[in-house]
Structure 1
Amino acid sequence: MDAKVAKPGEGIRLSDLWNDPYPIYAKLRREVPVAWVPAANRYLVTRHEDIVALERQPEIFSADEENSLMKRVMGHTLLRKDGPSHKRERVACEPALRPATVKNHWMPEFRRIVDELIDGFITDGEADLFDRFAAPCAALSLARMLGLTNVDQKDLREWSQAMMDGTGNYADDPEVWRRAEAASSGVDAALDEVIPYLSRNPDQSLVSCMLHADDPLSREEIAANVKVIIGGGLNEPRDAIATGAYALLSNPRQRAAVEADFALWRLVFEETIRWVAPIGMYPRQTTREVELGGTLLPKGARIGVVLASGNRDETVFENPDVFDIHRAKKPHVAFGGGPHFCLGAWAARVQVGEVALPALFGRLKNLRLADEPVRFGGWVFRGPLNLPCRWDA
């Protein structure tokens, strides 16, 4: 295919993407799969095959984006590094998130947290399960895995949202920057308290692993990586819990199948993050001129890798807008790919698919949606904004 100049995605507004990006993504996949979108100040890559291709070429599509919003909010995290520097920091974090550690150490913690949360509202008969369950479950679990036992889960939730809003602040809203900076300072203060203790008393937490790695990370590196983990590590399981619950509550036949066969819960998790990818887009930048999806990209081009669109690519997934745990198995891209494949993928699968969702449906009898509509929002990060439910107390 001959290279062509990208057609501008004029008319695409950030507010439209936030409200419902999927019709926009479908149009881009059909017409200009790698399109310059002025509102986002980057080329949006929307086809599954192009996303997979660029992740296999990190030397061309670099994570180390210039003037990165993530760097502004969090510092230079491992997600914005490539090559040996990225690998060094990733290796330092890996012991805390290996499958055996998740199963033997964190899974019992997840179960305790989930049961205590449900105990706190089970007799109420109704609640917004986004606020009462999904968000605190993700926050409490993450605090334990990080080693930030000195942080209240409400503070962690506030910090996560503020920093994530900052990394997606393409509208350059000064109030968003103020909140993000305050959250970053809060994380720094919490680390100042916990690092001396974990230096003397190593455990299986992420901060401890970074401190005691064969090549220990610096205070600056630890802080940046803790901040990015607070973002994605809270956002993704929170939204996967809420989205998965909503999807099953809206699909009685699939719910019945899952409740009759525990092994299907893993399919619920994978289909949930395909259907509504919690991390909908992340940035890359080209290191040289390159053609992608029929568009000629100049050196230094800012790219948005739209996982949410790749996961609804009709050339890969049949009826992609439909939640279907029985669909033919195809590789989704919700966890990214290549060297930057999500470090916490195994922990998220266990926390959401093996603990949180099975407990919610198993313990809340006749769980059902309330009359108030469930609202979704976001495009850089997307998920439910509420989940009003009722059950038989």
Structure 2
Amino acid sequence: MSTTSNTTAPAVPVADWITIPDLYDDPFPIYRRLRAESPVAWVPAVNRYMVTSFDACHTIEQDQETYSANETDSLMKRAMGHSMLRKDDPEHEPERKSYGSVLRPKAIKETWTAIFEQNTQRYLDEIFETGPGADLHFGFAAPYAAENLRQIMGFRNATQQDMQRWSQTMIDGTGNYADDPDVWAKALASSQEVDAAIDDLMPHYRKHPDATLLSAVVNSDLPVEAIRANMKMTIGGGLNEPRDVLGTAVWALLANPDQLAETLEDPSRFQTAFDEAIRWVAPIGMYPRQTTREVELGGVLLPAGARLGVVLGAANRDPQQFEDPESFNMGREKKPHLAFGGGAHYCAGAWVAKASVASIALPALFKQLPGLRLSEDRPARAGGWVFRGMLDLPVTWNA
């Protein structure tokens, strides 16, 4: 690791050895080295300072005045529009409030739990039809998360396949640090499709309000551009987070049979499995911030306007916060993690993810697929760093 320096600040490490393909394949050895050498380092490959310690990431989460979400030249703004996720208070607050109670525990209990149960059975039935050797990621986790989200959001004029395509292409745009023009073209096409779908539905929800998210925001005081941007943001994170933590939790349990056996004896431990899985592999692995003033962070002096990557995937494996953090261990001491973010931008969909995955889908999978285990014919495979989850999860069971 080389360094640059000046006369007024500590040397700023430059991690010019990092490549985007290596981050995508397996970022965790990279994060270990960064934390050991400097928890804040300039990474030319991604054109920003990567912040990898728990303490530094937590500091950023709690101080939006110094570490602004409203980043200049934001990839997310380009891919999805200027959503609340890239705004600070006071601009952020009214947009967050427009979501109302749609994603809160009371609504989940009264409205969405029954839908999650129906969708669990629907996609389990499809897995049964495919038979042992099915890919649990593409055959269950992805359509399940997509259909749940489609119904919560109220996209009556779209399919779960549309939701998956929109989500993936726009998310690819938000993580397009390589500036691939094909990625931008697909993100733009999806963005335009979502705009058209929202415009088509707005008159309906003005006349027929209901429990959906689109109904809530359409009947708020938000301008249409804010509605469009926030719905795109929700299509992204609201699909990939439950999908990816579901796949990671299944993978981790199947790879740790002792912990799986304990969980099957006490199904309440599926909640613990969810929480440990989302710590172990944070589905949203990194998000940007930008400094509003000169500030010292992690032992280096950052200038005003510094572009940061807040690496939750690294913070959640910081040995200063978690003992033996590289392992999946449901018995570890319970400590706070950052997988859902924090502060004003704490994930609005956290309760939906916990209910749909931990309370409903995980117990049903292991109950209805007896002897569920990883396939011996094809290996399970994960990928990503800005967003990380399973790419292949072939499984078998006692048919």
Range of TM-score over shorter length: over 0.9
Number of residue-to-residue matches in the alignment = 390
Q: In structure 1, what is the equivalent of residue 235 of structure 2?
A: 230
- In 1, the alpha carbon distance for the partners of 2:134 and 2:193 equals 29
Return the alpha-carbon distance in structure 2 between the equivalents of residues 296 and 277 of structure 1: 28
Alignment of 1:304-343 (within 5 A): 304-343=309-348
Amino acid at match of 1:178: A
Identity of aligned residues (%): 52
TM-score (norm 2): 0.96
Q: How is 1:224-373 mapped onto 2 (pairs within 5 angstroms)? A: 224-371=229-376, 372-373=378-379
SS of residue in 1 equivalent to 2:293: coil
Name 2:114's counterpart in structure 1.
Answer: 108
| Alignment equivalent of 1:199, drawn from 201, 206, 222 | 206
> What TM-score do you get using the length of structure 1 for normalisation?
0.98
SS in 2 for 1:97: coil
Please say if 1:143 is aligned against 2:134: no
Q: Note the C-alpha offset of 1:392.
A: 1.8
- Equivalent residues of 2:380, 2:394 under 8 A apart: yes
Once the two structures are TM-superposed, the CA of residue 3 in structure 1 deviates from its matched residue by 4.9
2:13 aligned with 1:10, yes or no? no
Q: Distance in 1 between matches of 2:379 and 2:219?
A: 48
Confirm or deny: 8 A CA contact 2:371 2:398 kept in the other structure. yes
Is 2:61 the partner of 1:55? Answer: yes
2:64 is matched by which residue type in structure 1? P
Please tell me whether the aligned partners of residues 63 and 285 of structure 1 are also in contact (alpha carbons under 8 angstroms).
yes
Say which SS state the counterpart of residue 296 (structure 2) adopts: strand
State the SS of the aligned residue for 1:283. strand
- Counterpart code for 1:271: E
> What corresponds to 2:103 in structure 1?
97
Q: Deviation digits for residues 41-64 of structure 1, max 9, x if unmatched?
A: 000000001111111110000000
Give the CA deviation at 1:154.
Answer: 1.0
Residue equivalent to 1:171:
178
Q: Is the 8 A contact 1:94 1:343 kept in 2?
A: no
- Please name the residue that 1:29 is paired with: 35
- Residue 225 of structure 2: aligned partner: 220
Asked if the contact 1:76–1:224 (Cα under 8 Å) also holds between the matched residues in 2, the reply is yes
Q: Equivalents in 2 of 1:121, 1:31: separation in Å?
A: 46
Q: Which residue of structure 1 lines up, in the alignment, with residue 4 of structure 2?
A: none
| CA deviation profile, 1:59-99 (whole Å, cap 9, x unmatched) | 00000001100001111000000112100000111311111
Correspondence for 1:70 among 63, 66, 76: 76
Provide the C-alpha distance between the structure 1 equivalents of 2:133 and 2:374, rounded to a whole number of angstroms: 9
- Partners in 2 of 1:305 and 1:37 — Cα distance? 13
| Unaligned stretches of 5+ residues in structure 1 | none
Q: Give me the CA root mean square deviation.
A: 1.0
Structure 2 alignment gaps of length 5 or more? 1-7
Determine the C-alpha separation between the residues in 1 that align with 2:196 and 2:293.
40
The answer to whether the 8 A contact 2:149-2:239 is kept is yes
The residue type equivalent to 1:218 in the other structure is: P
The 4+ residue runs of structure 1 with deviation greater than 3 A are none
- Secondary structure in 2 matching 1:82: coil
